[in-house]
Structure 1
Amino acid sequence: MNVELNALRARYGRMLVTLFWAHVPVVGLAAAWVGSMSPIRAMILAGALAAIYQVIWTRHGTAPMTRSLSAVALVGEPALFLLVFDGHGWQMDMHMYFYAVLALNLAWFDRTALIMAAAAITVHHLVLFYLLPSAVFATDGDLARVLLHGAIVAFQTAVLVWVSDKVVQSFDRIGRMSDEIVAKSAALEERTREAEAANRTKSMFLANMSHEIRTPINAILGFCHLVQRTALEPRQREHVARISTAGGALLRLINDLLDFSKNEAGALTLEARPFDIRSAMSCQVQMVADIMASRNLTLRQEIDPALPEVLVGDELRLNQVLLNLLSNATKFSRDSEIVLRARMAECRDGRARVEIAVGDCGIGMTEAQMTRLFSPFAQADSSTTRRFGGTGLGLAICRQIVTQMDGWIRAESVPDKGSTFTVSVSLGVGTQAVSEAVLPCSAIRDLRVLIADDSPIALKMLEEIFSRWGMRVILAPSGRAALDMVQAADQRGLGYDLVILDWKMPGMDGLQTLRALRRMALRRRPASMVMTAHGVDVVMAEAAGEPIDLFLAKPIDARSLLQALKQLPGLAERHAAAEAGAAAPATASPALPPALVGQRVLLVEDNPINQEIAVALLTDAGLRVDCAENGLIACRMVEAGGDDYAAVLMDMQMPEMDGLSATRRIRQGRDATRLPIIALTAHAYDEERVACLNAGMCDHVTKPIDPAHLIAVLARHMRVVAPPVEAAVPAGRPAAGDLPDALPPFDIPAALARVNGKRALLHRLILTFAENNRDATVRLRAAVAQDRLEEAHRLAHTLKGVAASLELPLVAILASRLEACLGAGEVEPVDALLEELDGLLSAAIGAADTLAGPSVVPPDPSAPDPSPAEPAPTGEAAHVERLRGHLLEQVRRRSMAARASFDSLAEALHLDAATRADHPVRQALVRLDYAAAAALLDAPHADLGPLRT
């Protein structure tokens, strides 16, 4: 049944209920007015008709029976009015009501109801004429007149039936159309789902293919770069250069296709992060600086001073647009000038409308060429002999990006005069707090910096970055000029604090300049930074053996430069002194606010040396320290007594449970206001820092640990959980060992700065390093051979952090390269790296062994003299006794390796995991309470059972 027609009938049927009952008082009033019938009787008759319809409607709704009987009942209403108006002049006029109720039945859209109503009217008239003529036709009624009325009723009924049929047919047609629309809509939805699935499949296919294609292309480009560094014949070098150029073009094509596909599929999402737009533009200019120099192009920048220092938006996508426009301007120009302009068009409600224009003096375009400028796969020069390459997607992608940034892009061009592309985007304005976060501290701004680079554009970009920070830097066009400037400044007593050198410079490159600088007799030797566009790992490999403070990859932006400058040795001490208004010694112990002294912190660190360094630093600062060897143990300790900790220092890479997983688990029960968690890791990249913050950590401290920086971060985030008490200081610290001022390959002065000048602690750490890493390369080789790359990656990461903390730079560099290879799943270079690492480790361990000397354990006067008649233990007992003696020796030397030795002894004693974890000796070692552990080990141990308490 047609749904719409049935709904219309239902509304009409409900309306008739009201109409029938409304007739009851109207008929009563008419009877009272005319006086021919008792009003009560009239109302009873009208109420009977209403009641009959009410019952039928209630039981049967819009059924055919309801429609037919209601038609007859409606005819009864005018018939009743004829009786009421008996003898009144209006009686004959009541016949008009018959035609009204007949037309009213049209609303049922049922020909049967109309015919029933017409039949009822005809029968009514015949009955009146033959049986009750005096009721209506007392004077002038005749059959012809009755038949005339019948003919009129028949004609009206025919018209109404025709209209009703047409309406029903229309409803049926509408119903069929509706069903077809629903069916087609369902089919369309299904096709839409199929199209979306196909689009997702296409996107996945493109992403997978992009990855698969880019992997061999990157290998081709990488090996081309390596081959170009070897001795080649001129023709071979030319061929390799062409392969590299073609590979780069193919890689750009793949990237453009992937970006365009993602944008078309609506998969492009924009981030909102604060960034320095001036630095962003500088970075993109550096990307094309070499090409500009080769085409004899100069750059002129016009930056609006009203442009905010920090904006909020998607820096990566904006950089993509800028680089495309700069690349086009460079590609189509020669021997001329490129102009880069940026201005504030509007600033309202925390949003800035920024317009950036790139103008060139190149070949220009015609009106016809500009009409298809932003169309995908279209180029101004589409001939088969075109001079300029490209995919024709760059500007289409730019338009997609700026449109999503609520902006626009347009071009103005004159043939043979040049073109100007203008981009307008809407970006947020950074708050004052955000702006201060991307600006250097006073210690950095006080540095005297010299920069040497043979590229004028690169020098100009760096000078602008420093000038925005309020710093004046000295520029040198070559390595030789830099050496002359350093010597002249040193003679005037105004030596430089930092020298920044480009790696690849003609005549004397950056490393050669640095070596010459090391040989110069200077009153104050500056720190060094080497910047390169050829990969930091390549420079580090070539600089093996050369002490370099910082490395920085080009293109350089303000953020990466600032992050690098923050890692300068001694910067934290310099900053603290600047804040205090006076110089402070570099080895002065950093201090916590009095309210935080005596608070308890949890240190989560699996490496014994790093743990001992951190415990010493934290204890010296006045804190009480609990230790956990991995994230799982840390979670249990926090669950048991997390409200007692003022902060948690969390390592990232640990066995059983890493730092990120542990943080997420802790955050399920405690937010950052209840328990601050600070990352303590050798991962210094922004990605790792963001991962830490996303996991729920409050801050990020990199290894090797800078004591002042660590204490400053703790002071910023720690909470007061209890009244300050005197910090626990480990008892029985041994006196300083015979630690020389120089111990190659260890940098003893720098290592002492890492431990706040504690010679005894450094002596012990070097011995522990030697003991723990004698078989480091053996364990790494075994893990790689057994395809346990995750374990090998963790071992390399740990070795890198420990070597950096003990100032073994060459070991740290090799371990870092090894970690990178293992993290990327590249095992081919591992053997060569391990071979080189083995030699460096052997040298370091040999140097450490010179500090150990003979191990002399003083006799214990309280211990009973051994009976000469007692036979020496043999077999398993002898093995246990040797392990116990070795453990006792390590405990007396306060070695962090004692815990590993205890695990070996517990395994020999067949202790289960629960007993081993709760053993009092192990608990004492976890607390670094070596005196208690020694007392427990010195207890009687004649049997082979668990050690007694």
Structure 2
Amino acid sequence: MDTLWVWVALFALGILGILIRFFSAKQAKIEKMYEKMLQKQQEIERSQSLFLANISENIHEIIEKSYKETTTCKEEQPAIREMVKGKKLLDVTHDLIEFLRLKSKKVQVSHEKFNLNNVLNEVSGTVCTRFKGSPVELIFDIDNNIPRYLIGDLLNLEKVLRHLLEYFLQENSQGEIKLEIAMFGNYEEKIQLQFKLSDMGEGLDAKAMESLFIPVYNEENKEYSGLGLFVAKELITMMQGELAVHSVVGKGTSFTISLPFEMLDPKNRRNYRLPDKVLTAKKVFIADRNYNSALALKKMFAYFRHDVKVVNKEEFLAHKPDLKAYDIVILDLSLFQAKTVAYLEKIKKEKDLKVVALDSLLEREESRNTDAVIDRVLIKPANQERIFELIVNLYTLKQIRKTPVEEIPQEHELTHRTDIIETTNVSQQSFRDFSGMQLLIVEDDEINQKVLLNILKISGIEVSVANNGREAVEIIKEKDGSFDLVLMDINMPVMDGYTATQMIRLESEFNELPIVAFTALALESEKEKIFNSGMNAYLTKPINIGKLYTVFKMYHRLSSKQKVTATPQRRTFSKDILDVEKGIVYANRNEGFYMEILQEFLDAYGQSTEVFAKLIREHRYEQIKMLCIDMKGLSGTIGAKEMFGLIIEIHQKVLYHQEDMLVNYVDAYGKALRKLTDEIHRYLNMPST
């Protein structure tokens, strides 16, 4: 009997051992799989962190290269010189500021009212200026139920769309790029907007998809790929949105973004109301070289209950359709041949036919002449608000009732309708010519605010800042007309620049106040809106310091408020510690940008001595290496020669595994950084701490 129990016990122990071994093996497999996943996640995070650390170093290399090209181009044509100086250096400067703001964790999400159409105008104006001349067809396909006004983050939405569109335009030299906007999940005022961006390009394989949002620096051409996508993805996450990517090799790629917003007025289903019923139910004919683009336009016109017929360019040329039955005829600009023009002129003599020419923002030429038969030119990509304005502007009807805000003010003698001429050889000191003036800057972008404030810092101009149009109206009324000039951004949350200017002009006491617009989209239709709202002139983005000086000179009024000040002696700085002149050249010769870079440098790295010492104490050599790469690029870019040399020494110790010598550099790092920050504070005219 005892033997039996022994065998039973042995059998049970055997079973238990097998089970323990089985579950141990399974647990080990799970742990191994988890470890692989963790390693992969850490690798991705390390790649992204390493990229952020590397960007400043390689930005410095790009700037050096661009600076040499600028110098080489001194004897070349002015247009070439401007292209090299303006495009490369300005892009790099913006990248550097954005990089430093990410490092300082300054990017925030806002929740304010904005006009979605203004965002689309700003984005299209910016990307089409950068890729001007591209034959790609850019299409905005917007569902009819998309609200005109939303509550959410205007600036970050604008950046997301701009970065993604820039990616597609970089990857495509032909075909079409489409932005589709749809609305889902309508729960009271809460909505989800879906932005789908797609191309007809080569598509991406699995390997390319895996690294799509990990920025890569190309040593050969000294360029980055993926920076915009990286930033866009980070912003989407911050805005509590989602991003999905789909790609098929040989067919194209699409990005689908879902972002939460709130509706300003959920009960209002008609976002665009024509001022008179006579403007609805028109018969519209559209012939475009791109059929999908024509269909997107059809959807926008159909919103106003128009009956729309669409054909492509080839069909129009082959069949020469009868256009007598239509109220509005919209044709691609290339279709206005002699016979077509003569045919349209004949119809115009018989009836009130409106003729619209279609042109592309990417391909349009400023000097291109249009035929007299054309009533209006519609620039693609369009949006619902611009179609609304087109219809209203095509028909000038006495019976259209206008509210006081919509009335066009009488044009002031100081109104300047043409592009502002750039004044040459302008520096920060040049603005002392306007000492004593009172200026209001109306701008929601903090970077643009700081750049302008830095440009004018030593000018003696008294500057006030409003973050949106509503604040501007309130400040102007509080100051009781004491401002000499207002610089007004167009695309802002809460209240845009058009509405703010209209509200200001309602008060007759402000009729003489010069208001100059900042805009990224300088189309004729947008210029018309600028002047109709009551503004006196416009400046295009990005900021051009020479044109800014011209604007001040145009509206400079001699008065008792302005005081004459002696020109101070030019400040001198140790070029070994801070080579200001070289740093300004790196910042696109824009001292305002340079000052903003220095301020962001102070915020991100001004207190990094303790960080450096702690990393050495904790033997975190990989992080020390990343800090060196960071500081190497940034110190070189701002002209900090002494700091740059010291960082190279420290970096070499890490590279050659001489980590035991790093402790000897703690004091040297602290002293060099202190000297540099003191010099930066002195340059920025700030008290050092």
Q: Which has the higher contact order (CA 8 A, sep 6+)?
A: 2
TM-score, with normalisation over the residues of structure 2?
A: 0.41
The structure that is strand-richer by fraction is: 2
State the structure with more CA Rg. 1
The structure that is helix-richer by fraction is: 1
